Structures are given as structure tokens and as C-alpha cells.
Amino acid sequence: MALWSGRFDQETDEELKKFTESISYDKRLYRYDIAGSCAHVNMLAAQGIVPEKTAGAIVGELKRIEQRIADGDFTFTAELEDIHMHIEHELIKALGDEGARLHSARSRNDQVALDIRLYLRDEIDAIADMLRNLQKTIVDLANKYRTAILPGFTHLQHAQPVLFAHHLLAYVEMFNRDFTRLQDCRQRFNVMPLGSSALAGTTLPIDRDAVCRELKFDDISRNSMDAVSDRDFIIELLSALAIFAMHVSRMSEDLILWSSREFDFIELGDAFCTGSSLMPQKKNPDIAELSRGKAARVYGALVALLTLCKGLPMTYNRDLQEDKEPVFDAIDTVKKILRVYPPMLASMAVKQEKMLAAANDPELMATDLAEALVEIGVPFRNAHHRVGAFVKWCKQHNKQLCDTTLEEMRQTIPEATPAFLEMFSPSKSVEKRETPGGTGPQSVDKQIRFWQKNLSL
């Protein structure tokens, strides 16, 4: 018994509709589809392709449909495949033959290329605002904890003391690059594809520049075949979002580490942690963990789009319908993160004494000794070796670096001066790093003011 033997039946029909429909997810484009149709029909009227009166009626009805969809007063059905067909069908139902004039000089190929650009433009603007808000939150924290010092890590090992504010501002830099990548992407794709029709342009006397102006694009697309088959901008956007998600995964890792009993540098607000169904004492940094994990789906979306487009011949292929769900999911994911991250950060209690205690490890000042030797003329490599030997000596004699006498220090660092004995303070170490971009208080202050100004705090 083969399931599909004989003529295929009702059930298959149903399956086929489910397989090909996109209305279940592309309905979110409705506003943009309608905005595009309004601009299109206004242009058709101005060009004499449809009567002015018809255009007026169509625009009016489209606005009504938009309102109905916004109000939840509109029925979607897999029968009508996609958002374009739903709206046009409703229009024709309302206006009859007059409604049937809308789709002149247009194909769903260029229509969807328009809709998705309009949609992504808005989403990028929304995400950019949220990114700015995230940056502001972090700058506020940096400003609030200006004097807190913690160990800076490389290889997850203590390296040198740094200002907590400096550490925080590193993330502001990352998110700023994310912001600029979004702007570049937006600018590159802000090009109006309508008028490309199915692939070859149209024989009707349209005015693409008029539509371009009405919809606030920077330019019209130059080649109709490219315009209907191009999905570069989705890949580029997903790549920018993937890098952002990677940054979030890194910051989350820091937050999770700092929240551990072992580090104990911070405590996230109760609202951003959850308990255990079994262990009554647990307080887990779930929001940070989920945020770290969500990089996974954004990466997945990027790979999906790259895979989708690989090896497709020109021009439009139905495969391209699969472009939407991944990018919708990535956008939703990024926005979700951007909604919870700022309040989570703001909820953070900073345990400054714990941080300082961790930084108050004389070994972290070893580099300062080496650089002090350079200042008095010892070649750096030699200075490095001497301080290395000093660290080893202390280990062997079971002493802290700061507990040695000058004589002891001079056994390995003959050039040591009494000033060397004063170097084992995290705050002094930090204060000496005032070159631009360094962790010195003035340098960090300058960074904070730069960002306050740039983000208009």
C-alpha cells in the first residue's frame, strides 16, 4: 500500500498548500505591501495608466485593509498563498474591475523585493535605536563605577588591573561597530526595485523615480534581472546580526563568569535569574545564558541564507521564498535580546571590594616593573627576563612580590630602586596607563565623555 498511490487526493492538496504558502509568516509585511501598492498606483495614475479616480479608490481601500489587518479583523488562508494575493484579492472583492488595475506593470517578483526592503529598513532603524540604548546603559554603568578596579584577563588568567569602566566600554566599541554595519547595509540596499517586473522590466510607460521618491529610497535599481534575484542584503544583514549576537555571547560569558561563586564580582537582579525545580538554593543567570545561546539561531539563519542562494541560476527561483523565516527569526531574536539586556545590566550589583581584592595581586604589576626598567634604560627583553626571574624567585621562596626587600629584589633585578617597592598597588598601576585607549582614569574618562556626547546622554 503506497500512501500516495493512485491519483493524489484531498489530503495531498492540503499538504501542497501548506508546503507552498507563505502567508503564515509573510503577513508581517502587510504595511509595506500596502505602502508599496499605494505608491505604485499613484504613479500609474500620474502616468495615465490607470484613471486618477481608480487610483484614489484603490488607495482608500488599501488603507481600510491595512486598518483591518492591524485590528485583527482580516482572515488569512493558505488558499491565497501570500500577503500580496490576500491584499489584492480583498481589493478586487471590494472594488471589482477597478481593483484589478493595481497589478499593472508589476510582478510578485519585484513586489516582494520592494516589500522586504521596506520592512528591513524599518527593522534596522528599530534595532539601531535599541543598540544605542544598550550602549547608553553601559556608558551609564561605566560612569557610575568609574573607580572600580578588577583584574583584566587574557587567557582567563589575571593579566593587569583595569578599570571596570574600561572593560565595560570595550563592549560599547563592539556594539558601535554593529551599529555602523547596520547603517552600511541599510544604505547599500536602500534602492528601489519596483518596475523590474518579473525580470525584464515592463512595456508600460511607468515612472520609477516617482515611486522611488514617494517611498524614500536613495535610488532606483539599475538592472531588472539583478533586482528580482538579489538577496545579498539579507545575507549582509544576517552577517551583521550574527556578529552582534557573537558580541552578546561574549558579554554574557563575562557576566556568567562574574556571577559564579568563584568570581563573585557581580550579582544580577533577581528578576533576571531563576531558581531550580529541584535545588532550592539556586540562583541562575538564565537571561545571560539564553542570550549567549541565542547566537546559535542567528548563526543558523545566516548559514541558511547562504546555502539557499548557492548555485541558483538567474533570475528568480522559488527557493527564494525560503529567505524570510530565517531573517524574521534573527530580527525577532536580536530585538528580544536588546529588550532584556539593558535592564539586566542596570539590575547588576557590582561588588567592588571583591573585584579590587582580586586585582590586588602583586603579580599583576609585574609588567609595570618591566616597563619601569625600560624607562631607566634596560632593553625590554632583558627587563622582561629579569622580572620573570624575580617572579620565579618569589615563588621559590614562597613570598608575595610585594613582600620582598629591595635587596631581595635586586638579586634578580639589579637596577631596582626603592620606587619599585611601591608599585604593587592596583590603583597606581591603572593610573600609569594614560596613553589614549589605555585604562588610566583620565583616558577612560575621555572615553566616557566621548560616548556620552556621541550617544547624547
Residues in 150-189 at the binding interface with a second copy, rule: CB under 8 A: 151-162, 166-167, 169-174, 177, 180-181, 184, 188
Segment 245-304, which members bind a second copy (CB under 8 A)?
246, 249-250, 252-254, 256-257, 259-263, 271-272, 274-287, 289-290, 292-297, 299-304
State which of positions 16-35 bind a second copy (CB under 8 A): 16, 18-20
- Residue 43 class from Cβ within 10 Å (0-12 exposed, 13-18 middle, 19+ buried)? buried
Q: Can residue 435 be called a binding residue for a second copy (CB under 8 A)? A: yes
Residue 127 near residue 142 (C-beta atoms within 8 A) = no
Q: How far is the CB of 403 from a second copy (least distance, A)?
A: 15
Q: In 10 A of CB 223, how many CB atoms?
A: 11
155 catalytically annotated: yes
Q: Which stretch binds a second copy (CB under 8 A): 26-34, 66-74, 114-122, 442-450?
A: 442-450
- Pick the closer one to a second copy by CB: 73 or 203: 203
| Residue 73 or 310 with smaller CB distance to a second copy | 310
Contact pattern for a second copy over residues 306 through 345, marking x by CB under 8 A: xxxxxxxxxxxxxxxxx--xx---------x--xx-xx--
Candidates 212, 223, 191, 221; CA nearest to 315 is: 223
Exposure of 363 by Cβ count < 10 A (0-12 exposed, 13-18 middle, 19+ buried)?
middle
Residue with cell 500596502: 34
Nine cell digits for residue 34: 500596502
Residue 276 and residue 282 in contact, taking contact as beta carbons nearer than 8 Å: yes
Return the residue of 80, 124, 439, 448 that touches a second copy, per CB under 8 A.
439
Q: Which residues contact 375 (CB under 8 A, 6 or more apart)?
A: none
269 grid coordinates? 537582579
Compute the distance between CA of residue 22 and CA of residue 418 in angstroms, rounded to an integer: 76
In the bound state with a second copy, the residue whose beta carbon lies nearer, of 67 and 349, is 349
DSSP 284: B
Work out the burial of residue 89: count CB atoms within 10 Å of its CB; fewer than 13 is exposed, 13-18 middle, 19 or more buried. middle
Cβ distance to a second copy smaller for residue 36 or 161:
161
Write the DSSP string, 215-279.
TT-SEE-S-HHHHHH--HHHHHHHHHHHHHHHHHHHHHHHHHHHHSTTT--EE--GGG-B--SS-
CB 418 within 8 A of CB 380: no
Residue 67: CB minimum distance to a second copy, A: 24
Q: Which amino acid is at 356?
A: L
The smaller minimum CB distance to a second copy, of residues 74 and 342, is found at: 342
Query: Taking the complex as a whole, how short is the minimal distance between the CB of residue 275 and a second copy, in angstroms?
Result: 7
Residue 41 phi, psi dihedral angles, 5° rounding = -75, -30
Contact pick of 230, 355, 356, 409 for a second copy (by CB under 8 A): 230
In this complex, which beta carbon is closest to a second copy, that of residue 67 or of residue 236? 236
Among 147, 223, 400, 405, contact with a second copy (rule: CB under 8 A): 223
Exactly one of 118, 420, 447, 448 binds a second copy (CB under 8 A); which one? 447
Residue 103 annotated in active site: no
- Per-residue binder mask for a second copy (CB under 8 A), 365-404, x = binder: -xxxxxxx-xx---xxxx-xx-xx-xx-------------
Closer residue to a second copy, CB minimum distance, 67 or 388: 388
Catalytic residue among 24, 260, 276, 397: 276
Residues 101-120 that bind a second copy (CB under 8 A): 101-109
Minimal distance, residue 308 CB to a second copy, in Å: 4
- What is the smallest separation between the CB atom of 129 and a second copy, expressed in angstroms? 9
- Exactly one of 5, 155, 277, 456 is catalytic; name it: 155
| Binding-site string for a second copy from residue 409 to residue 428, where x marks contact by CB under 8 A and - marks none | --------------------
Site membership for a second copy, residue 52 (CB under 8 A): no
CA distance 244 to 347: 22
Among 43, 50, 57, which Cα is nearest to 95's? 57
CB of residue 401 vs a second copy: minimum separation in angstroms? 8
- Residue 323 CA to residue 305 CA, distance in Å, equals 6
Residues designated as active site = 155, 276
